[in-house]
Structures are given as structure tokens and as C-alpha cells.
Structure 1
Amino acid sequence: MAIFLNQSDVLFGVNISFADFFCVIILMVLAFSHCLIIPIIPIVFFLVVSMSVLLTAVFYVPFHFELYLDPIKIISDYIKLCATILYFFIGYNLANLNLITKTIKWYSIFGILIGLLGVTLTVLNLKIFSQVLFYADTRYKGLMIDPNYFSVILITSSVYLTRLKEMKVKWKLVIFIITFLSVLAAGSKTGLITLFCYLLIRTFEYVFSKKKNIKMLVIQLVLIVMTIIITTMAFNFFQQFISDLATSRPSFARVYLLFADFNGAVSGNGSERDRTWYVALQIIKLSPLFGIGIGTYTSIASSMFNYNNVAHNTFLQITAEWGLPLAVFFLSYLFYTLGKATFSKSINTETNLILRDIIIIVLFGSMAITLSNARILWFFLGAIVYSLDRNKINSTNK
């Protein structure tokens, strides 16, 4: 199942992954062997969200906004919502069986191999399986349905390998280079910004979180300042380097905009994030308390704002669909969990830090793409919730 978390495709209008079939099989095996654990609070929250979004979509939105909604769309989106809780349960139960580390390992290795394949095909300009592996024959998307989604997945795959204590520094550098070049091959501005933000977190953690004497801390701070200065001085060279790549490789042209015209990168060249987010905020204002339910977003956006697209922001999408109370509750719990994994010394284990980093990367990517139904978000969230609860119980018993 782990390797197929790097794969998804659209069949009959539904986003399907081979991991879904393994997910069902694993749940059945756990249930028949009486090993399936269903946590009470998550299932109750899921039922509350289900009832709220269905009632809103079926009864509130059609009458309040005088819109005809496609029942198939509502059912399809509800199936996606159900899939999220199933992946949460899978992650929770695999953590209970002490299989989550092995799962992360193979998920990461397979993800980096897919990224390496993309770098090779792009650099050598090979058109092998271009219809399967590339978007519009130019942007590498791996086995995912979207280059941006692929980039976020790829960055999460680098976490395990770069956090392994046994991994030598030179190999960690190789993993980073592969990740960086793969994001460029995908032409993903979202991926590049996400990677940069994650690197900042790791740098900050390295400098300040580990115990060091004053001399070593000063040396590291000086090195960071020098690196920033050198990077600034070399920015024109790097910009020219990316420009040359953009000339020969179309996928790099999108990323080049981040260095040449950041505002244009956000608002133009196929992104139009500024308008997308504006529409999402307006939809939230229309029904802040109950939201608009599931399967209704694009219909309302098209009918009232002449814009047929999703929010391209997980936080805005969830708030628009669930309403502010449920969205704030969920996001508060999510950030509380991340904070708990970060600052509680008794449960600050290597596995928990890896799970935390994966979720943080997904949240960074969520700023520019809608990942509310992303399998890896709910799968690894379930794993870290169990891991933190188990460590809490163990520390209490001691």
C-alpha cells in the first residue's frame, strides 16, 4: 500500500488510487481478525461533519441560493469525505501494529525514485510515457493527477530519508538535489515555495533546537548570515541559470516567474490564485456558520461569481464547505497535534518528527492547492494521533 500512496488517477470522474483497494483489504483483514481500533473522538467528529455538510448541501443551499445541484456531485464528494476517515483509521491502526515506520520507509523510497525518473527524463528530454508521466507533455507529474500535487508528495517523501540518523550527510544532500530538480521538472511554483519553507524550518531547528555551546551557536549563525549574503550576491547568476533552463525546458518557465515576477507568478500564467482566493472568501461570507456543504462549491462559484473552480487552498475550501465553527475546531486540533509533537520532550521521537514534518509540508502545499481529501494528510494524521496518544499513556504509566 505504501508505494501506491504516490499514485492516483481520474477514472469516471473520480480520483482513484491503487492504494484505495489495499486500504479496503487492510480494513477487512483488521476487522475479521478483531484488531481494528476505531477511536471515538475522530469518528464522532466525522459523523458531525457528515451530517452538517449533507444537510447543508441537500436542504439549505438549494433553497437559500435557489440553485439546482447535481446529486451525483454531492454523492461523489461525500464518498471522498468517507475515504478520508478510512485512511485516518488505516494510519491509526498501522501505528498500533508498529508498521508505520516501515510504511513511511517504502513510501519515501518509491517517491524519490519517481522523482529521479522525472529528472532523468526532463534533463535528457526523453518523451517516454510522456502522456502518462507528464502534464501537457511538458510538466512532470509522476504517477499523480497534477504536477503541484506530485511536488508536495515528493517533498514529503524526502523527510524520512533526510531525518534518518544512519544516513550520511552526502546522501541527504543527494536526496535534496533530486527533490529540488524534480520540483523544477514539475514546473511547480507551489512545490518550490513549499520546499523553501520546509528548508527554513529544518535550518531553524538545527540551529536552535539542539543543545550547543555558545561558540558553536555563534559559528553557525555566522555561517547562515554568510550564506544569505552569498546567495543574495549570486541571485542574478541563479536567475540567469533558471532563465536558461526555462528556454530549453518549458516546465522550468513557470518556476522562473517566481524569481523574475513573483506577483505575476501568483496571479498569472495559469495560476490566478488571487482571484481564486477572493472568490473563496466571498463564498465563506455567504454562509459562515454552516458553510455550503459538499458538492456545491463550483456550482455556487460559477453561478454567483462566474468562476468555475475550487478554492486552491485547503483552509479556505474546508471553511467554505464545513463552516467556520467546524473548520476552526479541526484546524485548531491539527495545529495542537503538531505543537504537541514538537514541544513535548517525552514524545518527541524520530518517527513523530517525521510524521509531523510530512503533515507540515502538506499544510504548506495546502496554501495553494486543495488537499482536503489528500490521502497522505489523513493517513499520516491518523498515525501521529495514535503515536502521540500511545506515548502519552506510556509516559503516564511510568
Structure 2
Amino acid sequence: MSTALPARSGRASASIPRAPQERAERIPLLYREPLELLVLALLVLLGLTLNHSSVIFGVNLSLADPVVAVLALGLALSGRLWIPVGPLVFFVLLSVQLLVVTVLLVPTWTSIPIPASDTILDFTKLAVSFLCLVIGVQVVRTGHARLVLRAFVIGSVMVSGIAVVAQVAPLPGTGSLFYGGFRYEGLTNDPNNFAVMTVAALAALWYDRGVRVHLSIIASAVLISGVLLSASKTGAITLALLVVWRAMGIRTPLGADSDSLSRRLLAAFTALGIAVLVLLVAPSTGAGGTLAEFTSHVPALDRLSTLLVSFDTAIAGNGSERSAAWFTAFALILASPLLGVGLGTYLPVAVELTGHEVLAHNTYLQIMAEWGVPFALVLLLWAARATLWRPQGTRHHALWATSSTTFLVLLVGSVGLSLNNSRLFWFILGITVATHMFSTKDQPTDTSGESPQPSGTSHEQDALDDPGLMPFPRLGGSR
């Protein structure tokens, strides 16, 4: 059965050659192999479970963990798992360094015994992080990236919807989803983590061209409500930056020439400047006091209103103190800047050096302290390049606009959160770097040397530009 797009004119037109994998994405579900259907079901489940993170028996686990493991195992047994060499070498070298530091060096730095279980646990987290990155690369390679991202957004809307409904009609059993009785934390163990993940889902929604406007508006309202009901100041600031960024029209899916690196950098600093200006100026205008009075009846919003009443108090008080955690992280970095402090040893070494048993609450400081500055900088520079530089050609530009903006949200949230073990963080990074790996610089040409002009609907053209759109129809039609 041919899957070529029909021509709309009598003039013969050359079609863009497609790889067998891309042609396979056009095959209806009814005719797919059982193994492929299972993989698709697991990918949808992965997108949904990326919204979960919880501490169980003292271990930070996610429902996405077994899904990632089964996916990786199934793809490996079927010969479909592709692991990029660069990341593999990086994680092998990093693992060797961390194990050497943990076993040989840390015992000489501290008198506190390091339980082997902590080292095994942290190494497992590192391995799961790498697998999430590999799966992120894999879904781009097979054209299923949009499927997982949309499942993630749908799951996030459902979780935030519980918070919205609970404000009107309290639901039985939802009390455990609120930290302190009023801060919604969803299916995570931290309202701040939930808020940043929800803003990331909002970014993925806003850059998805396949959602009707009215559906996007409804979903956006639910997601924004979830962020506000978390009473997370980190989430509120991240949301404000995303709104400004999107309002400026940066990272259009089709990638116009004006969407240059200089413009993106200017937009980033402008968005940051506007947010900082509002937070610093609003308290002196009296508007913050009016807002505080208006939100005083809703504890979650009342906590957020302090950002516009007294920014210093909002950042430094009411459970938002970060100075002790960051001071501790800096102390660990200075103690071992090149090699880090190893696996499962952060808290014991922190107690030995500073007397504070607290994590960094900052992804950048956390990985610098644990991995050492060299490995941390390699990762951060690699991630920055994939996020700020547009891929060559246009094949994956729409997907890159979505994933890189989503990852930017996580990078902003990383200032106040340690997301180095977040499954979502590594999965979105995998998608973002994969858009560069599988992009081509030049478009195919026909025998006349001219770029071919494929025919078909606008959605079909979108699919040619971004294979990640192929496996699934638009949600509710086109905008």
C-alpha cells in the first residue's frame, strides 16, 4: 500500500524521499505489529507517569522508572535500541570517577561511615537518568516524540484538574496531595517540583501546533491554576518568565531567519529583566498590598502575593530560605572542585564540613559538588548548546522549539530545585539533543537541482518538516 501524498495538480512533482521508519509511521494502528503496539502503549504510559515522583521507603522513585526499564529492555532485545556514543562515553567515565572518589577518597575526608546502600542507590539514579536520556533520543529517532510529549501534557492537565476541582468540591482522598494543608503538590513530594513540572507541560502545550485554540486555552487555564495552587514562588517566577518569552513570539515552530541566536538571547534577558522589574517595583506601587488583600482568603495565593509585597521576604522567609543550602554546596565544591564528593556521600560530607545536612536545592551546584566542576561544565555546556542553537535544516525545528523551551523551563526551575535526578529533566534533554543528531543541513533536491515542493495538506507538510508529528492526528484539528 502506497503512502505517498497525492499530487494536487497535473504537474508532476518530486516527493521527498522518506526512510523506511518514516513511511512506517503512516501505517494505521490496526496493521502494526504487536511489539510496535506495545511500544506505543508504553510510550503513552511513560508520558503520563513522568508527572509522578515520590519518596517511598526513603527512596525517591517514580512510576516512570519501571516503564523506562521495560522500554529499554524491550528495544534492546528487539535490536531497536540505539545508544549515542558520546553520552555513553560521558556516563561511563563519570561513573568510574564517582565510584573511585566514593570508595577511595571520601573515607579519608570524613569520619562518618558511608552506607554502601546510599552509594548503590545514587548509582541507580544515575543509571536511570542515562536511560531516560537514551529513551528521549530514541523517541525522536523513531518519530514518536510528540506522542510522549502530548501524553505528558494530558497527564499534567489531569493532575492539575484535581486541584481545581478540589477547590470547588473537596474530593475524598485528595488531602494527601496538599502539603501543609493548602500547597498542592500533585503526584510529587514537593510543591516546587510539581509547579516547575507543570510549567514545563505548559511550555510543551503552547509550542504544539496540533491543538485547537479552545482546547489549548482550557488546558492552559487548568495548568496555570495548578501552578498557582502549589503556592510555589519558584514556580510562579518560572511561569512569569515563560509567559513573557511566549508573548514575544520567540522560537516559532517554522523557524524564521529572525529567530536567531542573538534574538533568543535578547529575549531571554528581556524576559528576565521584565520579571525582575515587576518584582522589584510592584511593592512600591501599592498594587502588591491590594493584591495581598484580595488573595488573603486563599492561602496558596496569599503565599505567592508576598512576591509583589516584599520580594526579599518572599525569597528569604516562609520556608524559602536557600542561603544555608547554597553555602553548603559551595563548601563541598571548594573542598573537591575537580573530582566532586562521589555517590551517596553528599549529606555525610556536608555534615562533616558545615554541620548542615541539606541538599543544594540548586541543580547546578548539586552536580558540581557531586561530579566535580569539569564533568558538570561538560554537561551544562552540551545542554546549553542543544537548547540555544537551532538544529541544522528544518526537519526537526518544530520539535526542537517545543523540547528546548520545555527544557529551558526546567533550567530556570533548577535555580531553586535539585533536578539532577528528575526523569523529566533527562528525558527532555534527550529529545532536545536528538533534534540535532537527526537533523540534516541540506534539503533533498530533484533531478533539476531545485528543492522539491511536496504537495498535500498543511498537516502533511508539518509532518514532513517534523517527523515527530506523524504517528498521531491533530488534537481537535488545526488551529
Is the TM-score greater than 0.5? yes
Matched to 2:228, the amino acid is L
User: Which of 20-29 and 175-184 deviates more?
Assistant: 175-184
CA distance in 2, matches of 1:172, 1:281: 42
CA distance in 2, matches of 1:361, 1:38: 26
Matched residue, 1:135: 179
Matched residue, 1:360: 408
Residue 355 of structure 2 is aligned to residue 306 of structure 1: yes
TM-score of the two chains, using structure 1 as the length reference: 0.87
Matched residue, 1:2: 47
Measure how far apart 1:243 and its partner are.
3.8
Q: Of residues 70, 90, 98 in structure 1, which corresponds to 2:115? A: 70
Cα distance change on mapping 1:358 and 1:235 into 2, 3 Å: farther
What SS does the corresponding residue of 2:366 show, helix, strand or coil? Answer: helix
- Kept in 1, the 8 Å contact 2:228–2:301? The answer is yes
Matched residue, 1:279: 328
Matched residue, 1:216: none
Matched residue, 1:240: 290
What SS does the corresponding residue of 1:129 show, helix, strand or coil? Answer: coil
User: Which of 364-373 and 108-117 deviates more?
Assistant: 108-117
User: Which of 150-159 and 65-74 deviates more?
Assistant: 65-74
Measure how far apart 1:232 and its partner are.
6.3
- Kept in 2, the 8 Å contact 1:112–1:158? The answer is no
Measure how far apart 1:261 and its partner are.
1.8
Matched residue, 1:94: 139
Measure how far apart 1:145 and its partner are.
1.5
Cα distance change on mapping 1:306 and 1:234 into 2, 3 Å: closer
CA distance in 2, matches of 1:54, 1:371: 21
Matched residue, 2:421: 373
Residue 85 of structure 2 is aligned to residue 35 of structure 1: no
Matched residue, 1:155: 199
Matched to 2:422, the amino acid is A
What SS does the corresponding residue of 2:438 show, helix, strand or coil? Answer: helix
TM-score of the two chains, using structure 2 as the length reference: 0.73
Deviation string for 1:133-156 (max 9, x for gaps)?
A: 211222111111211111111111
Deviation string for 1:11-55 (max 9, x for gaps)?
A: 221122221111111112111211011111111100111111111
- Kept in 2, the 8 Å contact 1:132–1:143? The answer is no
Which segments of 5 or more consecutive residues in structure 1 lack a partner in the other structure?
A: 213-223
What SS does the corresponding residue of 2:249 show, helix, strand or coil? Answer: helix
Matched residue, 1:326: 375
CA distance in 2, matches of 1:300, 1:188: 29
Q: CA RMSD in A?
A: 2.7
Residue 434 of structure 2 is aligned to residue 386 of structure 1: yes
What SS does the corresponding residue of 1:391 show, helix, strand or coil? Answer: coil
Cα distance change on mapping 1:68 and 1:352 into 2, 3 Å: same
Cα distance change on mapping 1:233 and 1:319 into 2, 3 Å: closer
- Kept in 1, the 8 Å contact 2:183–2:231? The answer is yes
Q: How does 1:193-208 map to 2 (within 5 A)?
A: 193-206=237-250
Count, aligned residues: 379
Matched residue, 2:38: none
Measure how far apart 1:206 and its partner are.
4.5
Matched residue, 2:65: 20
> Which structure is larger by alpha-carbon Rg, 1 or 2?
2
Residue 160 of structure 2 is aligned to residue 115 of structure 1: yes
Measure how far apart 1:346 and its partner are.
3.5
User: Which of 9-18 and 311-320 deviates more?
Assistant: 9-18
- Kept in 1, the 8 Å contact 2:282–2:288? The answer is no
Measure how far apart 1:328 and its partner are.
0.8
Measure how far apart 1:323 and its partner are.
0.7
- Kept in 1, the 8 Å contact 2:200–2:410? The answer is yes
Deviation string for 1:313-341 (max 9, x for gaps)?
A: 00000001111111111111110111223
Which aligned segments of 4 or more residues in structure 1 are displaced greater than 6 angstroms?
231-235
Deviation string for 1:217-274 (max 9, x for gaps)?
A: xxxxxxx9xxx99x969974465234432x3232233312212221222222112112
Cα distance change on mapping 1:74 and 1:396 into 2, 3 Å: farther
What SS does the corresponding residue of 2:248 show, helix, strand or coil? Answer: helix
Cα distance change on mapping 1:126 and 1:241 into 2, 3 Å: farther
CA distance in 2, matches of 1:210, 1:243: 45
Measure how far apart 1:161 and its partner are.
2.2
Deviation string for 1:113-145 (max 9, x for gaps)?
A: 211221231x32726323432112221111112
Deviation string for 1:247-305 (max 9, x for gaps)?
A: 32322333122122212222221121122112211221111111111211111222221
Measure how far apart 1:75 and its partner are.
1.4
What SS does the corresponding residue of 1:6 show, helix, strand or coil? Answer: coil
Cα distance change on mapping 1:239 and 1:348 into 2, 3 Å: farther
Matched residue, 2:28: none
Matched residue, 1:264: 313
What SS does the corresponding residue of 2:425 show, helix, strand or coil? Answer: helix
CA distance in 1, matches of 2:328, 2:355: 10
Measure how far apart 1:106 and its partner are.
1.2
Matched residue, 1:220: none
- Kept in 1, the 8 Å contact 2:339–2:372? The answer is yes
CA distance in 2, matches of 1:340, 1:397: 23
Higher helix fraction (1 or 2): 1
